[in-house]
Structure 1
Amino acid sequence: MAKMQANQMRAGMVIEFEGQRYTILKQNIMIPGKGNAIIQVDMRNIKTGAKKDQRWRTADVVERLTTEDKEFTYSYADGDNLVLMDPETYEQTQVPSAILGDRLAFLQENMTVNVRLIEGDPVSMDLPETVTLEIAEADPVVKGQTASSSYKPALLVNGVKTMVPPFITAGERIVVRTEDASYVERAKN
């Protein structure tokens, strides 16, 4: 474990706070009108999967846990677990599916995932930044709506809702960000 100042926290780091381990999801530095800057951190409890918002002063010290990153290939889901394969040794390992939270829907067979380990225990898992998915259904464009003015709701084949430009229709494949299901572009292939 290493101590670091709160303002050094970055997404993906793992910290220990009040006896629990948390993965940092994102952090913002807020500078109030008077006084010192505050770090607003969104984090996820590694054991329970619950999200928590926490504020620190920039000079506060937090415990950072040393993590090791390892790539795995996702094989299949087994109950509440995900079965991953080590691409070098072909050994299988299981991680709880809760580790992905609401990004679980974007996990695809044979996808390369990055797992962060602490003393061999998986504590967080990163998916590729984007995935290509087919649109299951998209709302029709409202007449009189200009192309640039607004996105319309659409449902991806994995059951996730997203917002797409008016020209996207059901059956098309689009690229979306795994972090927040936002539309990136029309798939090129």
Structure 2
Amino acid sequence: MLNVFARSSVSRLTDPIGGWLVRHRVSPNVVTVVGTGCSVLAAVTLFPPGFLLAGTLVVTVFLLFDLLDGAMARARGSGGDFGAVLDAGCDRIADGAVFGALLWWALVTTGDEVRGLALLISLVAAQVISYVKARAEAQGISATAGVAERAERLVVLLVGTGLHGMGVPYVLDVALWGLAAMSVFTVGQRLFGAYRGRRGG
């Protein structure tokens, strides 16, 4: 739900920018790759040493490129089959880098195994959520249900890390374990949706 709501609201800002870039012959695929590369670089350099507030702000800016390349695709009339595959692949890379960098911070920098476990559960579940959807669609089955799609997961995670970086107590632990629970639940929702939508009922 948040994916749809956020994209609808932010598109008022991103659509004019996307149209301008398309008129200047900038490829949406280039924006996708640049946004992903910068997100990964920011995550792996800022999160592990413990710069959670700075990391949250910088990563959030570059993750918004995911909305910008969509606006460019709409301006062109179509993003193309490869563009969709590239976008999905880059989303997984960016998510893996963000969660992996925070996992390093939790386990290596701070030695907090409890936070590390929550991050590990969320990281694995996020990849499974995306894989189940893709595998189901390859079989002609819809499996899009879920309380924690990508936008929801990133909002919960980055709000938690940002507030923790500002010194707000307890919020990160609540965010991480809430995210872990929602992610696991979403895996179950996707699998159940695929089961119900299978051929032959």
TM-score interval, smaller chain:
under 0.3
Structure with a larger share of its residues in helix:
2
Q: TM-score, normalised by structure 1?
A: 0.24
Larger radius of gyration: 1
Structure with a larger share of its residues in strand:
1
Relative contact order, higher structure (CA 8 A, sep 6+) = 2
Q: TM-score, normalised by structure 2?
A: 0.23
